[in-house]
A and B are shown apart, each in its own frame.
Chain A
Amino acid sequence: MDIRLNFQVYDSRDPKEFIIIDTSRWEHLSEKTSIIEITLPGESKPVIRYYTKGVNVFNSEMLYLSCDDCGDAFEDLPDGIYKITVKGSPDKFNKTRQYLRTTKTRLKLDQLYINAAGCFNSNEDSRKTVIKINEIDFLLKSAEANTRAGNNEIAQELFFKAQKILDKNSKCKTCK
Protein backbone atom coordinates (compact mmCIF):
# COMPACT_ATOMS: atom_id res chain seq x y z
CA MET A 1 0.00 0.00 0.00
CA ASP A 2 1.09 3.56 -0.70
CA ILE A 3 2.18 5.91 2.03
CA ARG A 4 -0.48 8.55 2.55
CA LEU A 5 0.05 11.37 5.01
CA ASN A 6 -3.02 13.05 6.40
CA PHE A 7 -4.23 14.72 9.56
CA GLN A 8 -7.27 16.51 10.91
CA VAL A 9 -7.48 19.55 13.12
CA TYR A 10 -9.85 19.07 16.03
CA ASP A 11 -11.27 22.12 17.72
CA SER A 12 -11.96 21.18 21.34
CA ARG A 13 -13.25 24.72 21.96
CA ASP A 14 -10.48 25.18 24.50
CA PRO A 15 -8.65 28.41 23.60
CA LYS A 16 -5.47 27.12 25.21
CA GLU A 17 -5.13 23.95 23.15
CA PHE A 18 -4.59 23.11 19.53
CA ILE A 19 -5.23 19.46 18.68
CA ILE A 20 -4.08 17.60 15.60
CA ILE A 21 -5.05 14.01 14.96
CA ASP A 22 -2.91 11.92 12.67
CA THR A 23 -4.86 9.84 10.13
CA SER A 24 -1.91 8.82 7.93
CA ARG A 25 -0.99 5.49 6.45
CA TRP A 26 2.71 5.49 7.33
CA GLU A 27 3.65 1.97 6.20
CA HIS A 28 7.43 1.48 6.52
CA LEU A 29 7.90 5.07 7.78
CA SER A 30 5.99 4.32 10.96
CA GLU A 31 9.12 3.86 13.05
CA LYS A 32 10.85 6.93 11.64
CA THR A 33 10.76 10.41 13.13
CA SER A 34 8.26 12.87 11.72
CA ILE A 35 7.89 16.59 12.28
CA ILE A 36 5.16 19.19 12.13
CA GLU A 37 5.54 22.79 11.06
CA ILE A 38 2.91 25.21 12.36
CA THR A 39 2.84 28.75 11.01
CA LEU A 40 0.78 30.89 13.35
CA PRO A 41 -1.55 33.68 12.16
CA GLY A 42 0.42 36.74 11.11
CA GLU A 43 3.77 34.93 11.27
CA SER A 44 5.96 33.90 8.37
CA LYS A 45 8.27 31.38 10.04
CA PRO A 46 6.84 28.10 11.28
CA VAL A 47 7.27 26.58 14.71
CA ILE A 48 8.78 23.12 14.25
CA ARG A 49 8.01 20.25 16.63
CA TYR A 50 8.27 16.50 16.63
CA TYR A 51 5.04 14.89 15.46
CA THR A 52 3.33 11.98 17.16
CA LYS A 53 1.57 9.44 14.96
CA GLY A 54 -1.55 9.76 17.07
CA VAL A 55 -3.00 12.74 18.86
CA ASN A 56 -0.87 15.88 19.07
CA VAL A 57 -1.81 18.56 21.57
CA PHE A 58 -0.11 21.93 21.39
CA ASN A 59 -0.29 24.80 23.84
CA SER A 60 1.23 28.27 24.06
CA GLU A 61 4.44 26.91 25.59
CA MET A 62 4.97 24.42 22.78
CA LEU A 63 4.21 27.09 20.21
CA TYR A 64 6.62 29.53 21.90
CA LEU A 65 3.86 31.98 22.77
CA SER A 66 4.29 32.02 26.54
CA CYS A 67 5.80 35.10 28.10
CA ASP A 68 8.64 35.03 30.63
CA ASP A 69 6.58 36.19 33.60
CA CYS A 70 3.43 34.17 32.83
CA GLY A 71 4.27 31.42 35.30
CA ASP A 72 2.90 27.96 34.56
CA ALA A 73 -0.36 29.19 33.08
CA PHE A 74 -0.82 28.70 29.39
CA GLU A 75 -1.86 31.57 27.16
CA ASP A 76 -4.87 31.56 24.85
CA LEU A 77 -3.85 30.69 21.31
CA PRO A 78 -4.63 33.29 18.67
CA ASP A 79 -7.46 32.94 16.19
CA GLY A 80 -6.68 33.24 12.50
CA ILE A 81 -5.29 31.13 9.70
CA TYR A 82 -2.78 28.46 10.69
CA LYS A 83 -0.67 26.71 8.07
CA ILE A 84 0.19 23.19 9.15
CA THR A 85 2.60 20.82 7.42
CA VAL A 86 3.40 17.30 8.51
CA LYS A 87 6.62 15.85 7.13
CA GLY A 88 7.80 12.28 7.19
CA SER A 89 11.32 11.08 6.68
CA PRO A 90 12.28 11.62 3.89
CA ASP A 91 10.29 14.85 3.66
CA LYS A 92 9.05 14.17 0.13
CA PHE A 93 6.22 12.60 2.13
CA ASN A 94 4.30 15.58 3.44
CA LYS A 95 0.86 17.05 3.84
CA THR A 96 -0.17 20.70 4.27
CA ARG A 97 -3.46 22.10 5.46
CA GLN A 98 -4.69 25.61 6.13
CA TYR A 99 -6.93 25.94 9.14
CA LEU A 100 -8.92 28.92 10.33
CA ARG A 101 -9.03 28.84 14.10
CA THR A 102 -12.13 30.60 15.44
CA THR A 103 -12.13 29.23 18.98
CA LYS A 104 -11.81 32.49 20.91
CA THR A 105 -14.15 34.31 18.55
CA ARG A 106 -16.79 31.59 18.94
CA LEU A 107 -16.45 31.77 22.74
CA LYS A 108 -17.12 35.51 22.51
CA LEU A 109 -20.08 34.72 20.27
CA ASP A 110 -21.35 32.26 22.90
CA GLN A 111 -21.22 35.12 25.41
CA LEU A 112 -23.25 37.23 23.04
CA TYR A 113 -25.86 34.44 22.85
CA ILE A 114 -25.94 34.34 26.65
CA ASN A 115 -26.27 38.12 26.90
CA ALA A 116 -29.01 38.07 24.29
CA ALA A 117 -30.88 35.39 26.22
CA GLY A 118 -30.60 37.46 29.38
CA CYS A 119 -31.76 40.63 27.66
CA PHE A 120 -34.31 39.14 25.30
CA ASN A 121 -37.77 40.63 25.58
CA SER A 122 -39.14 40.44 22.02
CA ASN A 123 -38.55 44.12 21.36
CA GLU A 124 -36.86 45.47 18.25
CA ASP A 125 -33.41 45.75 19.90
CA SER A 126 -33.47 42.11 21.05
CA ARG A 127 -34.41 40.96 17.57
CA LYS A 128 -31.66 43.05 16.02
CA THR A 129 -29.10 41.47 18.37
CA VAL A 130 -30.21 37.95 17.41
CA ILE A 131 -30.01 38.87 13.71
CA LYS A 132 -26.48 40.19 14.28
CA ILE A 133 -25.51 36.94 16.05
CA ASN A 134 -26.79 35.02 13.04
CA GLU A 135 -24.80 37.30 10.74
CA ILE A 136 -21.59 36.74 12.73
CA ASP A 137 -22.12 32.97 12.70
CA PHE A 138 -22.67 33.09 8.94
CA LEU A 139 -19.48 35.12 8.40
CA LEU A 140 -17.44 32.66 10.46
CA LYS A 141 -18.81 29.65 8.57
CA SER A 142 -18.15 31.32 5.24
CA ALA A 143 -14.61 32.25 6.34
CA GLU A 144 -13.97 28.65 7.42
CA ALA A 145 -15.29 27.29 4.12
CA ASN A 146 -13.11 29.72 2.17
CA THR A 147 -10.05 28.67 4.18
CA ARG A 148 -10.74 25.01 3.39
CA ALA A 149 -10.91 25.96 -0.29
CA GLY A 150 -7.64 27.90 -0.06
CA ASN A 151 -9.26 31.33 -0.55
CA ASN A 152 -7.30 32.87 2.31
CA GLU A 153 -7.78 36.50 1.33
CA ILE A 154 -11.58 36.28 1.27
CA ALA A 155 -11.48 34.15 4.42
CA GLN A 156 -9.50 36.85 6.25
CA GLU A 157 -11.86 39.55 5.06
CA LEU A 158 -14.95 37.66 6.24
CA PHE A 159 -13.28 36.74 9.53
CA PHE A 160 -12.33 40.37 10.24
CA LYS A 161 -15.87 41.50 9.43
CA ALA A 162 -17.22 38.92 11.88
CA GLN A 163 -14.84 40.11 14.60
CA LYS A 164 -15.75 43.73 13.98
CA ILE A 165 -19.50 43.10 14.29
CA LEU A 166 -18.86 40.89 17.32
CA ASP A 167 -16.84 43.56 19.12
CA LYS A 168 -19.45 46.19 18.33
CA ASN A 169 -22.26 44.04 19.73
CA SER A 170 -20.43 42.53 22.69
CA LYS A 171 -21.56 45.15 25.15
CA CYS A 172 -24.98 44.35 26.50
CA LYS A 173 -26.50 47.78 26.96
CA THR A 174 -29.37 47.12 29.28
CA CYS A 175 -28.45 44.17 31.50
CA LYS A 176 -25.58 41.89 32.56
Chain B
Amino acid sequence: MAQTIYKQTPSSILDKVDNYYMCQGEQYILKNDYNVGEDVDLILYSLVSKLDDIISSGVCLNTPTERIIEKLNLILTR
Protein backbone atom coordinates (compact mmCIF):
# COMPACT_ATOMS: atom_id res chain seq x y z
CA MET B 1 0.00 0.00 0.00
CA ALA B 2 1.24 3.46 -0.83
CA GLN B 3 1.46 4.58 2.71
CA THR B 4 2.82 8.08 2.14
CA ILE B 5 1.05 8.80 -1.12
CA TYR B 6 -2.39 9.47 0.27
CA LYS B 7 -1.40 10.75 3.70
CA GLN B 8 -0.37 14.30 3.06
CA THR B 9 -3.28 16.70 3.43
CA PRO B 10 -2.98 18.12 6.98
CA SER B 11 -6.68 18.67 7.60
CA SER B 12 -7.93 15.55 5.88
CA ILE B 13 -9.96 12.75 7.36
CA LEU B 14 -6.95 10.54 6.78
CA ASP B 15 -5.03 12.46 9.43
CA LYS B 16 -7.87 11.80 11.85
CA VAL B 17 -7.58 8.13 10.96
CA ASP B 18 -3.83 8.29 11.59
CA ASN B 19 -4.54 9.83 14.99
CA TYR B 20 -6.97 7.01 15.70
CA TYR B 21 -4.34 4.39 14.76
CA MET B 22 -1.78 6.12 16.99
CA CYS B 23 -4.12 6.44 19.99
CA GLN B 24 -5.13 2.81 19.66
CA GLY B 25 -1.47 1.78 19.38
CA GLU B 26 -0.75 3.55 22.66
CA GLN B 27 -3.78 1.88 24.23
CA TYR B 28 -2.52 -1.50 22.99
CA ILE B 29 0.92 -0.99 24.56
CA LEU B 30 -0.60 0.20 27.87
CA LYS B 31 -2.88 -2.82 28.06
CA ASN B 32 -0.40 -5.44 26.89
CA ASP B 33 2.74 -4.24 28.65
CA TYR B 34 1.29 -2.66 31.81
CA ASN B 35 -2.23 -4.09 32.06
CA VAL B 36 -3.62 -0.56 32.15
CA GLY B 37 -6.89 0.43 30.47
CA GLU B 38 -8.95 -1.53 28.00
CA ASP B 39 -8.16 -3.82 25.08
CA VAL B 40 -8.23 -2.28 21.61
CA ASP B 41 -11.58 -2.87 19.93
CA LEU B 42 -10.35 -4.82 16.91
CA ILE B 43 -13.82 -5.02 15.39
CA LEU B 44 -14.08 -1.23 15.33
CA TYR B 45 -10.50 -1.12 14.01
CA SER B 46 -11.50 -3.43 11.11
CA LEU B 47 -14.33 -1.09 10.18
CA VAL B 48 -12.20 2.08 10.33
CA SER B 49 -9.38 0.41 8.44
CA LYS B 50 -11.65 -0.79 5.64
CA LEU B 51 -13.29 2.64 5.28
CA ASP B 52 -9.79 4.16 5.27
CA ASP B 53 -8.83 1.83 2.41
CA ILE B 54 -11.99 2.67 0.45
CA ILE B 55 -11.50 6.44 0.83
CA SER B 56 -7.81 6.13 -0.05
CA SER B 57 -8.53 4.15 -3.18
CA GLY B 58 -10.95 6.86 -4.32
CA VAL B 59 -13.16 4.23 -5.86
CA CYS B 60 -16.54 3.26 -4.52
CA LEU B 61 -19.38 1.83 -6.56
CA ASN B 62 -22.53 3.39 -5.11
CA THR B 63 -21.72 5.79 -2.29
CA PRO B 64 -20.04 9.17 -2.86
CA THR B 65 -16.70 9.48 -1.04
CA GLU B 66 -18.08 12.45 0.94
CA ARG B 67 -20.73 10.21 2.47
CA ILE B 68 -18.13 7.64 3.50
CA ILE B 69 -15.98 10.39 5.03
CA GLU B 70 -19.06 11.61 6.93
CA LYS B 71 -19.72 8.13 8.28
CA LEU B 72 -16.08 7.62 9.23
CA ASN B 73 -16.02 11.01 10.93
CA LEU B 74 -18.99 9.98 13.04
CA ILE B 75 -17.23 6.81 14.16
CA LEU B 76 -14.01 8.63 15.01
CA THR B 77 -15.68 11.40 17.00
CA ARG B 78 -17.67 9.01 19.22
Which residues of A are at the interface with B, using a C-beta cutoff of 8 A? 8-11, 13, 21, 97, 99-100, 131, 134-135, 137-139, 141-146, 148-149, 151, 154, 157-158, 161
Chain A interface secondary structure, helix, strand, loop or mixed? helix
B73 sits at the interface (CB 8 A) = no
Residues B1-43 near A (CB distance < 8 A): 1-5, 7-8, 17-19, 21-22, 24-26, 28-29, 32, 40, 42
The answer on a CB contact under 8 Å between A158 and B18 is no
Q: How many A-B residue pairs have CB under 8 A?
A: 70
* Interface flags, B55-73, vs A, CB<8A=1, else 0: 0000000000000000000
The answer on a CB contact under 8 Å between B22 and A142 is yes
A52 CB → nearest B CB, Å: 18
User: Number of contact residues on B: which range applies?
Assistant: 20 to 34
Which 3 pairs from chain A and chain B are nearest by CB? A142-B25, A145-B21, A145-B18
The answer on a CB contact under 8 Å between A11 and B2 is yes
The answer on a CB contact under 8 Å between A154 and B7 is no
The answer on a CB contact under 8 Å between B3 and A138 is no
A138 CB → nearest B CB, Å: 5
Question: Can you list 17 A-B contacts with CB-CB less than 8 angstroms, sorted by A residue number?
Answer: A8-B4, A8-B8, A10-B2, A10-B5, A97-B4, A134-B45, A138-B40, A142-B22, A142-B24, A142-B28, A145-B17, A145-B18, A145-B19, A145-B21, A146-B25, A149-B18, A161-B28
